[in-house]
Amino acid sequence: METDGALSLDAAMRSAEWQRATDDARKRGLTEAKVWMRFAVQNDTAESQKIILTHDIMRLTVLTTFSIAPSGKTLRVDYDSMAPNNDRPLAYAGPVAEVVVPAGERRDVVVRFGNDHPIPIHLNLRVWSESGFERHSVANTAFFVFWIGCL
């Protein structure tokens, strides 16, 4: 957890405070602190693969994704919660990021997320395949269209 808003990627990676995202650690309570999560993705296929990251809290103000190649080259992507859906890299109403993993390669992925004002925060970061995200988006949209139609 980052409470002062000043933690860099390098400082986060060197931190001794990393812990597993267990059921007990998932809920962080009412906070404006930023949460850092990290994991690795290995692509053992012959084709480049995309993974999609989403969070259940639709109005997060901060979602930053770092994709780190074995060479150390880092790609940073900042989600903009105020951007119109059509101007986002992925047209999705909530916080979303895409990570590309080239064929036969690995990426270390580090994600920083939170809100600029206190909200109940949890660690429900979801990792999707491209086709899984597409099915999720269609089902999610259908549910909300049905729900709004019932109102």
pLDDT at 108: 96
User: What average pLDDT does the segment 28-57 reach?
Assistant: 90
pLDDT tens track for 110-149:
999 888 888 777 778 889 998 888 888 777 777 666 767 7
pLDDT at 144: 65
pLDDT at 37: 92
pLDDT band at residue 4, thresholds of 50, 70 and 90?
confident
| Cα separations in angstroms, 94 against 75, 84, 90, 119 | 21, 11, 10, 16
Most confident of 26-35, 51-60, 99-108: 99-108
- Spatial distance between the Cα atoms of 111 and 77, rounded to a whole number of angstroms: 10
pLDDT tens track for 69-117:
999 999 999 988 888 877 887 878 788 899 999 999 999 999 998 888 8
pLDDT at 137: 79
Instruction: Cite the beta strand spans of the chain per DSSP E.
Output: 27-31, 35-42, 49-55, 62-68, 74-78, 96-101, 106-114, 119-122, 125-129
pLDDT band at residue 10, thresholds of 50, 70 and 90?
very high
pLDDT at 68: 97
pLDDT at 138: 79
Predicted model pTM: 0.84
| Cα separations in angstroms, 7 against 2, 76, 103, 133 | 6, 15, 32, 30
